[in-house]
Structure 1
């Protein structure tokens, strides 16, 4: 898992080491050289009296009875199980249920909170839970349970798969993630009993995944507490020192805060606006983030206090803004209107920063009571305040929209690790707000590009995108968007995703959609090419693919482990299987001699036959080697690389000869089609006299006959000559000969040759060796070496 920005190693910047040193020294001064956590107490008797009282305020007696039955079942299941703090394990589910009750979740969610560990820890089946408490409760508990019965190659893979399971369960029912966040919050509150290593690992995971999810769903109270608890457990020394400093500053600035509060209340009373004005203190983690990002000491962080103004109506929010700006001077550029354009999680408020007494900057947040409920409870407000407010329904719609995007990513992700990576990209809280040509507002992560916008609207729109207009100006697809931009996407039916797009797209949906398209396209191309290879190999036995019977295909699927014949062809096209081996096996099965052959033994070789015909337009299943740049008319041969399809080399290529000596069984005969389906890159080297304007004249001659893709110039070892290197596009060797003939007509050209194999440069040779699975240092066999 990637390290979250806030808990990254402090050894990366001198300023971070400075902060660490100051905080460490302050900690020792304030608390002494060592600090030990308070030893937990053992509690054998567990009561749900507090939980029952809280539930009785909003649930019916029958629902409270069902919750008590779930508690009794969970208590019996966890009997004899203890937490590392020494407390009975049942105290944890009860605490999670109490948190859920504080958000007024329904009875099913409370029951799931009490039962959330019985499947994972005690082996209770989903069927048993469904029979006792209903299918909905069983589904919630199943979504909260880890995949402990499955085997994974690594901890990271297991974590990613568990995360995917939880998020997909959330897509079916958002209560899953709310109960999970309550579970994580209580675990973070009681993390002191576990080892230091586990505390740091859980804190990093929380800050990297669970806190952003809470923010994305608008659960800001949980978000802030998870951040502070993660910081406290990951950097206990820094947290303790800053906490002590904040407490000291709180006493020093009490008079200033009281003076501001009194003056603001008096100003609102004068204009007759009923407002609830409260002071608030920024969290320890947010102060620490500011110190890191702006390279400040604690004494330089002035705005550790803020004020919240809660009024009755939206109109009063803007009136209140005028009152505050009349009382204190606003700081230019520090006003944000999140009411007109709310955040992606439904948050709405006016933010303004004012210069208070003694020059202290003070931030004010102005919102209505409904906005305040949403800001604090987010999607949980759906259960807490069922009063018919359209704002709350909007929050639910935003949450649903995000959950739907998770399903889109899931359907296109290759595995759970990629899914986790793409979801984490979408969890960044900062956003830009752009407009469609029809004035619809769309929110994208900060740094998102115009191509991200196209994929956010629809995957097909992104796949067919060829250009974009931003504010009526044609700009590149990689252009980063700014708030307020009007974006128009231009498409073409022939367009398709480019692998290079992955280097600049920002959103998880765009990344997963591009990868899914490329994967599908590669599969289809490999399928067609593999089919051609098998058909070509079968001709040596006097057979064709059309003659292969369904029962033979069924036996081949059992023999290979593939589910369909299409997968068999794709594996062959990608070089994972030999076409000659498959043809031999087909011939054995067709002749009824399968009992004479060992199905597990690979069949090497195979009869010769006509070479495989290629056009060069097969796509990713056939690649032209960069070390020798073959073109139609060259004598060529094909190398079947594992997972790479076929790589075409010239027969006199030095790299090809080296690979052939190592693994001759992977080479097959190939031939060019009479009418190749594309132009091909080829390198030429032109030695010219060093005269004024010679480069322009030679380039003009070459351009008249072919398209120039790349050009370079270097010295040729003498005082009066220069070597010009061109990469041009030609149809075949005849076309190349015409280009060379035309360039030779220039009197300044002394010599012109096609670059020989190996002259294309070290980078091309290394790339060719990587395609064959070799290192470029001359060692035979083995794959590429990986450094730190």
Structure 2
């Protein structure tokens, strides 16, 4: 899904200053004037008659009233930041008609409810001044210091730059935000406050934009809020996104909940009364509150379990707040004595907290008339964390013994973003990996030493290996789960004990990408494969270019940097390595580059120092006539990796005469020289073919297809297979074609052999079998 870049109420929602207002004035003079006059906004309503929205006075009394936890000098700096932002946004309005400054003030008020520090409040007030006004980061450093300037810069999008596509611009902006967030968690706290206020005021936006912004919010921002434990914001963003992305469904469920509220009021009151009496009788002091589940959570349950609204009975949940962990378990026992618990519906998030640090006891009981009722039991401190998450401990540090559990978990996740960034090739790939990691549910597994690790639900044993360290994942060869050796793709379950077996010679397999779940594992695997593929392609490209230059009578090792610079200017490649990789991938012809280099040498006076001697230079015509083209051919031995592909149409093996084709972006494809597919390609595109020969030492096995006609009979397949294994060959695949008219069957084997001599040995072994009538090597025509 393509998502919009940026926030709807910034560049998309604000109006523009009118020509009359800016006539004969520049931005700096406007800011200077407003800095002198904007103090009037600070002191509440004016006695003047009511003004249109665009001319109403903006007050920050509400913000100041929430800053009692800060020092007076910090509050004074926040007032200065307001004056600066008010001046910078002069003449800019929201679609609602309000002065644009009302938005930063509302964002700052949200941050103040989380008791963020003065720098965060100032950044909230000025979060759009770099992006939407003439102010620069240097201006902010000079006026407010580097910390505030860095926070504002981290909140600034990249839509002033040019990108090839909207999706690329959006992904790069998100990558910038995530990296700023990894350095300082306050960036995302301000950003979430910004997005929350934008969503609360989205009515003024056209319908199409509402849907795009809502999709971006529920896909990126709501999961981030959940991952950081900001559950109030998480629920708010979910419901607002639901409201604007699916307005009809939102209204239907909203109406159904209102009707049910009246029908179930008596039942809710009865449950509250019975629970309070049970706690009072046990002399347990509690705070008992009931609340409705969010509309989005109700809709999600209806959709995932294919239920109608009338079938969703647990619309209400009850929260029990006590003083200590011991009292949490006492309260649980009292509730289980009051109503019967539903089997499998108890979760202890106190002993094992969620990924975001959330702690509570969850239990679902059968209430009056058999209606399921959910209770959440927690302490006051747990409740603060459950509602505000990381924002409840805004004094974020870089890890250490003084950090809370919530801070530690947030720190680990933010550090994983940096690991993903280092392994990702581009911003869109980075965003894809981060989205994978934004899963709210988790499984909890143990290391052999008893350390607990949380992973997204559905994660595999290989994901566990990568969660320990990228190097552990890259060299993983086997895993033991609860003492049993199981495949790497085995899905982990709660309480599994996982042991990883590594080998220094092991490397990531491309097939791993099909089953890993976490963004870190996926990014690490791709990075390793790309690095390996790049090195292999570079080596092949250098060999191809050297061979082509030799045909031109030029020694590749003696080319000067000046010649390479001229050639790169002509090809458009950034480096010599990039040019060679493009040759190996078939994006550029080695012969074309060799001819161009030859011309450049001649233009410089035909330096003899770069020319080969007569004994070394074999012209193309001489090479064709000669049987000794070992010097010109590319040698292959099967160990080149992804840069050379042995094609399945003809399955070349050592001993076959072979040729090479440089397919565009596909590397060097090796065929047998009598392959019908290769011959057709050769007739259409002869300039992409290169000489290829087998190296002297080939230490791997190659696949070959065989068609074996056998007599019908019991146990024939087993006897034929044993003939293959008797010749030291491995069977990779088998299929059978019945031919009842001839009272025979054709068995098709894909086997592994080391060379043509080994293949002959296998075929002799098969022909010696009395069940076998004929054996042929199969080629695709």
- Aligned equivalent of 2:712, options 661, 675, 690: 690
- Aligned equivalent of 2:75, options 64, 68, 77: 64
2:571 matched to 1:549?
no
2:76 matched to 1:53?
no
User: Does the 8 Å contact 1:104/1:384 carry over to 2?
Assistant: no
2:549 matched to 1:538?
yes
User: Does the 8 Å contact 1:103/1:384 carry over to 2?
Assistant: no
- CA distance in 2 between counterparts of 1:707 and 1:248 reads 69
- CA distance in 1 between counterparts of 2:384 and 2:202 reads 29
- CA distance in 1 between counterparts of 2:737 and 2:563 reads 60
Give ranges in structure 2 of 5+ residues lacking alignment: 4-51, 608-618, 624-628
Q: Secondary structure at the match of 2:412?
A: helix
> Aligned residue for 2:612?
none
TM-score by length of 1: 0.87
> Aligned residue for 1:673?
695
- Aligned equivalent of 2:767, options 744, 751, 758: 744
Give CA-to-partner distance per residue, 1:750-784, whole Å, 9 cap, x none.
Answer: 221111332xxxxxxxxxxxxxxxxxxxxxxxxxx
- CA distance in 2 between counterparts of 1:728 and 1:229 reads 59
- CA distance in 2 between counterparts of 1:288 and 1:318 reads 32
Inter-CA distance 412–130: structure 2 relative to 1 (3 Å threshold): same
Give CA-to-partner distance per residue, 1:521-558, whole Å, 9 cap, x none.
Answer: 00011111112222222322444333233444444444
User: Does the 8 Å contact 1:109/1:179 carry over to 2?
Assistant: yes
1:407-486 matched pairs, under 5 angstroms:
407-486=418-497
Give CA-to-partner distance per residue, 1:174-217, whole Å, 9 cap, x none.
Answer: 11111111111011101111111111111111111110000000
Inter-CA distance 197–464: structure 2 relative to 1 (3 Å threshold): same
Cα distance, 1:97 vs structure 2? 0.9
1:222-237 matched pairs, under 5 angstroms:
222-237=233-248
> Aligned residue for 2:33?
none
Cα distance, 1:677 vs structure 2? 3.0
TM-score by length of 2: 0.87
2:651 matched to 1:629?
yes
Deviation larger for 302-311 or 556-565? 556-565
> Aligned residue for 2:584?
573
Q: Secondary structure at the match of 2:670?
A: strand
Deviation larger for 257-266 or 459-468? 257-266
User: Does the 8 Å contact 2:2/2:167 carry over to 1?
Assistant: no
2:266 matched to 1:255?
yes
> Aligned residue for 1:161?
172
- CA distance in 2 between counterparts of 1:385 and 1:614 reads 56
Inter-CA distance 392–352: structure 2 relative to 1 (3 Å threshold): farther
- CA distance in 1 between counterparts of 2:385 and 2:768 reads 78
- CA distance in 1 between counterparts of 2:723 and 2:492 reads 42
User: Does the 8 Å contact 2:54/2:93 carry over to 1?
Assistant: no
User: Does the 8 Å contact 1:152/1:158 carry over to 2?
Assistant: yes
- CA distance in 2 between counterparts of 1:586 and 1:670 reads 23
2:650 matched to 1:639?
no
> Aligned residue for 1:142?
153
Give CA-to-partner distance per residue, 1:72-116, whole Å, 9 cap, x none.
Answer: 121112111111111111111111111111111111111111111
User: Does the 8 Å contact 1:374/1:392 carry over to 2?
Assistant: no
2:405 matched to 1:394?
yes
Cα distance, 1:715 vs structure 2? 2.6
Inter-CA distance 721–43: structure 2 relative to 1 (3 Å threshold): farther
- CA distance in 2 between counterparts of 1:437 and 1:732 reads 45
- Aligned equivalent of 1:619, options 627, 630, 641: 641
Aligned length: 711
User: Does the 8 Å contact 2:396/2:407 carry over to 1?
Assistant: no
> Aligned residue for 1:715?
738
> Aligned residue for 2:133?
122
Cα distance, 1:42 vs structure 2? 5.9
1:138-287 matched pairs, under 5 angstroms:
138-287=149-298
Q: Secondary structure at the match of 1:456?
A: helix
- Aligned equivalent of 2:338, options 297, 320, 327: 327
Give CA-to-partner distance per residue, 1:385-438, whole Å, 9 cap, x none.
Answer: 99xx99972211111110000111111111111111111111110100000101
- CA distance in 1 between counterparts of 2:396 and 2:445 reads 31
Inter-CA distance 391–235: structure 2 relative to 1 (3 Å threshold): farther
